[in-house]
Amino acid sequence: MDTLAKKAVTWRRNLHKIPEIGFHEVKTQQYLLDQLHEMPQGRMHIQTWRTGIFVYIPGVNPTKTIGYRADMDGLPIEEQTGLPFASEHEGFMHACGHDMHMAIGLATVHYLLEQPIEDNVLVLFQPAEEGPGGAEPMMENEWFQRYRPDELYALHIAPEYPVGTVATKQGLLFANTSELFIELTGRGGHAAYPHLANDMVIALSHLVIQLQTVISRNVDPLDAAVITVGKLQAGRIQNVIAEQARLDGTIRTRSAETMALVKKRIEAIVQGIEAAFNCKAKIDYGCMYHQVWNAKEQAEAVLDAANETSGVQGVLAKEAMTGEDFGYMIRDIPGCMFWLGVQSVHGLHEAKLDPNEAAISVAIQTLQKLFQQRGNR
Q: Please, are residues 78 and 90 in contact by the beta-carbon 8 Å criterion?
A: yes
Distances (CA, A) of 195 to 39, 186, 191, 245: 71, 13, 10, 18
How far is 371 from 301, CA to CA, in rounded Å?
A: 10
Residue 318, burial from CB neighbour count under 10 angstroms (0-12, 13-18, 19+): exposed
Half-sphere exposure of 193 toward its Cβ, with a 13 Å CA cutoff?
Answer: 6
Around Cβ 68, how many Cβ atoms within 10 Å? Answer: 25
Residue 19 preceded by cis peptide, ω within 30: no
Catalytic site residue from 71, 119, 243, 324: 71
142 is catalytic: no
Q: Which of 20, 25, 73, 130 is catalytic?
A: 130
Residue pair 212/269 in contact by the 8 Å Cβ criterion = no
The SS3 call for residue 87 is coil
Q: How many CB atoms lie within 10 A of CB 313?
A: 16
Phi, psi of 49 (to 5 degrees): -140, 115
Concerning whether 183 is annotated as a catalytic residue, the answer is: no
Torsional class of 286: left (φ above 0), alpha (ψ -120 to 50), beta (otherwise): left
Q: What one-letter code names the amino acid at 259?
A: M
The rounded distance, in Å, linking the Cα atoms of 148 and 288 is: 23
Written as one string, the DSSP assignment of 260-278 is HHHHHHHHHHHHHHHHHHT
Taking CA 321 as the corner, what is the angle to CA 16 and CA 136, rounded to the nearest 5 degrees? 65
Q: Please identify every residue annotated as catalytic.
A: 71, 130
